[in-house]
A and B are shown apart, each in its own frame.
Chain A
């Protein structure tokens, strides 16, 4: 059975013990920093920080982290190779005929390539360590979201692994039934259309059942709900927020002034 990329996994780690909102702030801070970083070295520093958090603080094994990013490394590597050749520059690294790699091109393309890997790993750490229900509860209890909005976000986080599973099931089913015979580029739009149709059909059927189930429990009948589970902001979470904001201010200022 294939491992799901976007599913919560119960473990005992520093990041698992952090409350969902602290992790959300952490993701937000590093996403901003990844947008500000424009060179390979800057993105590499950020990627190393996220890898450290993933492996040592979220207890994601090196093998698992490698598997997660491997698909995106292919795209990142293609982008790097092609863009390095296309982006001009004055300092030539290597030249074979018309094909010319410059340091400037490699720097810019490499930064984007590393950003692709960084964001996927960041998302994996967040989704893999955050229980969807606790995120929904925290949004209502701590940030004052209305519970229908928080429910939307909670429900989406529950749906993502389910759809991912259905997507892989569908791929396997098509292979077994030999409907994947058209493997050329001409078959891609048709295949995409098929996947969307099936995912939406199954998704909407599930949506109808979920809405009946919610309404039978008086969902949205009252403006406020009483929660039996209370979300507490943990010291690990507070520490993560302080460190994330400090790093964002320090690196963000450096990156902005550097430009």
Chain B
């Protein structure tokens, strides 16, 4: 009964101007970082193979949308930021070109599925990692289509890609969980 008298404070899921600007900023920062990483991918994939090189460098690519989602905590943030990151990559002349949009779309959808399952109410570190985990699975689709994995024998890429979360999740934890916490401590942002 007592709880009925409490004022109902419902969070608005509408994007504010600050939300939009933060999403764009995150996309631009990761676009610049991603350009360097994707160029390195071509170097590493020659030595280690496409699947292992992708494992080593994929972490930051999954962190962009999740970092923004962890800060803003609203539906659609991770998807939009991941797409903005892809657009920034295309504009910067990323070696993967327009295929970045395919990767961004698939990863963004995976993030949103997990956040939607928790009805956009849980933003704990393990939910972020779960979203990244699902994205690593979804990501195999565009990786198979765009990087020529299909032309190589199954054993050369299936094993490494199954181990992918082991490489990706620690980096996602650092970039999408620890970094927002550090930024909040420094007074740069306020999460949620």
Query: Does chain A have a CB within 8 A of B92?
Result: yes
- Cα–Cα, bound, A197→B16 (Å): 24
**B179 adjacent to A197 (CB under 8 Å):** yes
Report if A163-B46 is in contact (Cβ < 8 Å); known contacts: A201-B186, A201-B188: no
Name A163's closest neighbour in chain B (CB-CB). Answer: B32
A interface, over-half SS: helix
CB distance from B132 to the nearest CB of A (A): 16
**B47 adjacent to A119 (CB under 8 Å):** no
Query: Does chain A have a CB within 8 A of B162?
Result: no
Query: Does chain B have a CB within 8 A of A78?
Result: yes
**B188 adjacent to A205 (CB under 8 Å):** yes
A: interface residue count bin: 35 or more
Spot the interface stretch: B3-11, B19-27, B112-120, B122-130.
Answer: B19-27
Query: Does chain B have a CB within 8 A of A126?
Result: yes
Query: Does chain B have a CB within 8 A of A134?
Result: no
Residues of A within 8 A of B46 (CB): 78-79, 81-83, 86
Residues facing B in A151-167 (CB within 8 A) are: 151-153, 155-157, 159-160, 163-164, 167
- Cα–Cα, bound, A206→B28 (Å): 13
Report if A211-B93 is in contact (Cβ < 8 Å); known contacts: A156-B28, A196-B175: no
- Cα–Cα, bound, A241→B175 (Å): 41
Residues of B within 8 A of A192 (CB): 33, 60
Binary interface profile of B, 38-69, with partner A (CB < 8 Å = 1, else 0)?
01101101110000000000001000000100
Spot the interface stretch: A9-17, A137-145, A214-222.
Answer: A214-222
Name B14's closest neighbour in chain A (CB-CB). Answer: A220
- Cα–Cα, bound, A76→B175 (Å): 29
B interface, over-half SS: helix
Spot the interface stretch: A31-39, A51-59, A231-239.
Answer: A31-39
Name B93's closest neighbour in chain A (CB-CB). Answer: A123
How many contacts between A and B, using CB within 8 angstroms? 144
Residues of B within 8 A of A153 (CB): 87
Report if A200-B98 is in contact (Cβ < 8 Å); known contacts: A156-B87, A211-B21: no
Residues of B within 8 A of A254 (CB): none
- Cα–Cα, bound, A242→B97 (Å): 22
**A204 adjacent to B22 (CB under 8 Å):** yes
**B91 adjacent to A156 (CB under 8 Å):** yes
Name A155's closest neighbour in chain B (CB-CB). Answer: B24
CB distance from A119 to the nearest CB of B (A): 5
Query: Does chain B have a CB within 8 A of A26?
Result: no
**B21 adjacent to A210 (CB under 8 Å):** yes
Residues of B within 8 A of A167 (CB): 32
Q: Which residues of A contact B (CB under 8 A)?
A: 6, 28, 31-32, 34-35, 71-72, 75-76, 78-79, 81-83, 86, 112, 115-116, 119-124, 126-127, 148, 151-153, 155-157, 159-160, 163-164, 167, 192-193, 195-197, 199-201, 203-208, 210-211, 214-215, 219-220
New A-B contacts (12) at CB < 8 Å, excluding given A6-B91, A160-B32, A204-B25? A75-B43, A78-B42, A82-B47, A122-B93, A148-B15, A148-B20, A156-B91, A160-B92, A163-B29, A192-B60, A196-B179, A211-B20
Provide a sorted-by-A list of 23 A–B residue pairs whose CB atoms are within 8 angstroms. Answer: A28-B98, A31-B90, A72-B39, A79-B43, A79-B45, A116-B42, A127-B91, A152-B24, A153-B87, A159-B25, A160-B91, A163-B29, A164-B32, A192-B60, A196-B29, A196-B30, A200-B29, A201-B186, A201-B188, A204-B22, A204-B189, A207-B25, A208-B21
